[in-house]
Amino acid sequence: MTELIIKNGFVYDPLNRIDGEKMDICIRDGKIVKTVKDSAKVVDASGMVVMPGGVDIHTHIAGGEVDSGRLLRPEDHVKDVEVKTAVTRSGVGYSIPSTFTTGYRYSRMGYTTAMNPSMAPLQARHTHEELSDTPMIDKASYPLLGDWWFSLEHIRDGLIKENAAHIAWMLKATRGYAIKIVNPGGLEAWGFGRNVHSIDDVVPNFGITPREIIRGLCKVNTMLNLPHTIHLHTNNLGQPGNYVTALESMKCVEDLARKDRPVMHITHIQFCAFKGEDWGRLSSGAEDIANYMNNHSHVTLDVGQVVFSDTTTMTADGPFQFGLYHLTGNKWVNHDVETETSGGIVPFRYKRTSAVHATQWSIALEIMLLVKDPWKIMMTTDHPNGGPFFSYPQIMTWYISKAARDKLFGKIHKRARKKSLLTSIDRELSLYELAIVTRAGQAKALGLKDKGHLGVGADADIAVYNINPELAAKKFVSARRAFEQAAYTIKDGEIVVKDGEVVKQVFGRTYWVDVETSMPHEVNDDIKKKFRDYWTVEYENYPIREGFLHTPAPIAVKAGV
């Protein structure tokens, strides 16, 4: 029985409405408890900030596509190496770090959970092998189901219950956590080099529309009682004028909303908040998106902040990546996975001196600051698409300090500066709000009940930052350093990082959703035949076997069908 007490810190625990109160946190056997014995090990957090461990709802850290990105970019690794220590293994960065490095770098920032949002079902095994090699954090993966043939057929034929039972089977087969939808219908079209351009375009071969796919899977999600909502990467991502598509996607599930519970998460909203007819006239759609968000509660967002750095873009959105390749002339990998999904990888450098990139940087900040309710919006970079995840500390200072924003604002492209709404926004997030957008809100949106808070019974995943709460906004440079190098990171009740150094290597769990349906998933000869005709792995060998994951943590869910 190991006991720990974190003493005298300023605690920010928004899910329990604790706002900077000086208090002690007690830990026993990896969980937060009311009291511990006097013999408990003491962590002195006097003058420091104590928060739940960081939670990342969307970060590409593992799987076929990420690994192809690593393969594509030796020049990215050579400039940023991670030397082995007595407790850690060596590896490389920069924008697509090796798995061990990924775990250590998250942990050093006080993060304890990260969700891998893009998994081709056929490559679920590969993804889970990588996640098992990613230490320090708990994780999960979302299978790409927005262009999954069986699901599209069910939607076409109006078989919603059958669709739900099938998706439940798929989540189990891939050990997945949530329904990920990327450019619905567009990936199917990309199989033959085409795309769809609005949520009402017809998807080739199926005769349905992206709207029907989004709505169909949204209903399935509700029926299955999944902990997270559908996780949507919209159509027309990265195209000027696409804020309209984002708004239409939000509107198309308005009538499916359930009281105050969200039914849709739109990811990296910055990439779909572009106004203007072309790149030359690009401006911000942040106000329109924020207005909608401030008047509706059925959607949550993560921002996909752009950071000025050299990075690697990678999405399952094959046609978008192809466009990006044409735009940049950079090297490009197309990564189709049989009938299931597409994908693309293009190295990319966001420059302050580019009007477009600077506008993207501004849009992301505007949305974060204009959406009034922090529970509706989360900090991400869509790692590595907007920038590497270890830019988070810098982004946090932009949120909490106008001075930090202004400092960079003065250096960006003149046209972007002129169009930016940032000059009219004085809002600075409090540390309480920062804890929401970086952990509490993310855990809530994910339905991870034991994460993102410090109440009794929660997982003892905790970050301690050496920050004086009153001076954080003013002394943003030292705040940034403190966020980069947590004074302590505690994972499942053990000190794993001290003063920014990994002192113990642990391996987190891999969550997946084990849905129990009363209606059995029908395995008919037709399904088996389709697997035989159109897949290269047979139905019987498709699901991941028991025992394949190193540390599986199934979450049992009882479905409404």
Partner 1 sequence: MYQNKRRTIVIDVRKTRTADAADCFIQVEPGKDYELMQALRVLVNDGELDVDEVAGIPVETLEDLVDVMVSCKLGIIFFGLGLTMSKGKHRNIDVAISLTRDLNNRTKFLIMPMRGHYNVTGANIVFTWQTGYPFAVDMSNGYPRYNPGETSSTDILRRDESDAMLVIASDPVAHFPKASSKNIAKHPLISIDPEVTPTTMLADVILPPAFVGIEAEGTAYRMDHVPLPLKKLVEPPEGFLSDTEILRRILQKVRELKKKGTN
Q: Which tokens belong to 175?
A: 């050990």
Strands 344-349 and 310-315, how do they pair?
antiparallel
Residue closer to partner 1 by CB (options 78, 519) is 78
We find the least distance from the C-beta atom of residue 383 to partner 1, in angstroms, to be 16
Can you tell me the distance from the alpha carbon of 12 to that of 485, in angstroms, rounded to the nearest whole number? 18
Residues 6 or more apart whose CB falls under 8 angstroms from that of 255 comprise none
Can you tell me the distance from the alpha carbon of 129 to that of 470, in angstroms, rounded to the nearest whole number? 44
We find the least distance from the C-beta atom of residue 58 to partner 1, in angstroms, to be 20
Residue closer to partner 1 by CB (options 477, 537) is 537
Residue closer to partner 1 by CB (options 35, 90) is 90
Q: Is the dihedral of CA 426, 430, 434, 436 positive or negative?
A: negative
The answer to whether 50 and 462 are in contact (CB under 8 A) is: yes
We find the least distance from the C-beta atom of residue 527 to partner 1, in angstroms, to be 17
Strand partners, 21: 11
Residue closer to partner 1 by CB (options 295, 536) is 536
What does the DSSP 8-state code read for residue 436?
A: I
Residue type at 268 in one-letter notation: H
Residues that bind partner 1 (CB under 8 A): 62, 64, 66-68, 70-71, 74, 77-78, 81-84, 89-92, 96-100, 122-123, 125-126, 129-130, 133, 191-193, 322, 325, 332, 334, 336-337, 533, 536-537, 541, 545, 548
We find the least distance from the C-beta atom of residue 71 to partner 1, in angstroms, to be 5
Can you tell me the distance from the alpha carbon of 309 to that of 433, in angstroms, rounded to the nearest whole number? 26
Residue closer to partner 1 by CB (options 114, 559) is 114
Q: Which tokens belong to 403?
A: 């001075």
Residue closer to partner 1 by CB (options 193, 520) is 193
**Residue 191, CB-side half-sphere exposure with 13 Å CA sphere:** 16
We find the least distance from the C-beta atom of residue 411 to partner 1, in angstroms, to be 31
Can you tell me the distance from the alpha carbon of 226 to that of 559, in angstroms, rounded to the nearest whole number? 8
144 φ/ψ angles, rounded to the nearest 5 degrees:
-80, 110
We find the least distance from the C-beta atom of residue 70 to partner 1, in angstroms, to be 5
Strand partners, 512: 554
User: For helices 402-409 and 476-484, what crossing angle results, to 10°?
Assistant: 100
Residue closer to partner 1 by CB (options 81, 523) is 81
Residue closer to partner 1 by CB (options 129, 514) is 129
Intra-chain end-to-end CA distance of the chain, in Å? 42
